[in-house]
Amino acid sequence: MFRAIVLATAGLLCGASLAQAEEPSAPSVDYGKTVSIIGGCNDCHTAGYNESGGKIDPATALKGTGVGWQGPWGTTYPANLRLLAAKMSEDDWVKYLKTFTARPPMPFYNVQAMDEIQMRSLHMYIASLGDPGDPAPDFVPPGGTVKTPYTVAAPPTMPK
């Protein structure tokens, strides 16, 4: 009997969580924050996010970072999404997200898979964060001089 009650309660809680995760019928700042978390935007574009165990500092949220990703393509940096969003209307943002491409490791194809409510909500959230801050460092082509810390993201050379 006790086990049945525990399982029923767990089922209700899971159902409540799923209901809260359903997409709203209109864009919102709160949903944009959720999209930024679930979409992994903060993983790269927010300094200290991973080290804090997923806590978002509004002062640094989505301002990009100075830690690069280096691979055969060169060295790329997570862009300052606040600067990008500040330059665009919500409509321009949606058009941009549907068509942009990027160098690794940015999974631009995942962004293109978002629906319009998610894209608009993300813009609203980013715009709500305030001061856009400074741009992230520029791309460094292969063999160029990198002046910042970076993570090597290159496949290993496999033995024959």
In which residue are the tokens 């520029």 written?
138
Task: Enumerate the domain spans of the chain.
Answer: 25-152
pLDDT string in tens for the chain (160-residue length) = 333 333 333 343 333 333 455 789 999 999 999 999 999 999 999 999 999 999 999 999 999 999 999 999 999 999 999 999 999 999 999 999 999 999 999 999 999 999 999 999 999 999 999 999 999 999 999 999 999 999 999 888 878 8
Whole-number pLDDT of residue 11: 42
Sheet hosting strand 150-152, strand order edge to edge: 74-76, 68-71, 150-152
Q: Is the pTM of this model over 0.85?
A: no
Whole-number pLDDT of residue 13: 39
Whole-number pLDDT of residue 157: 81
CA dist 14 and 31 (Å) reads 19
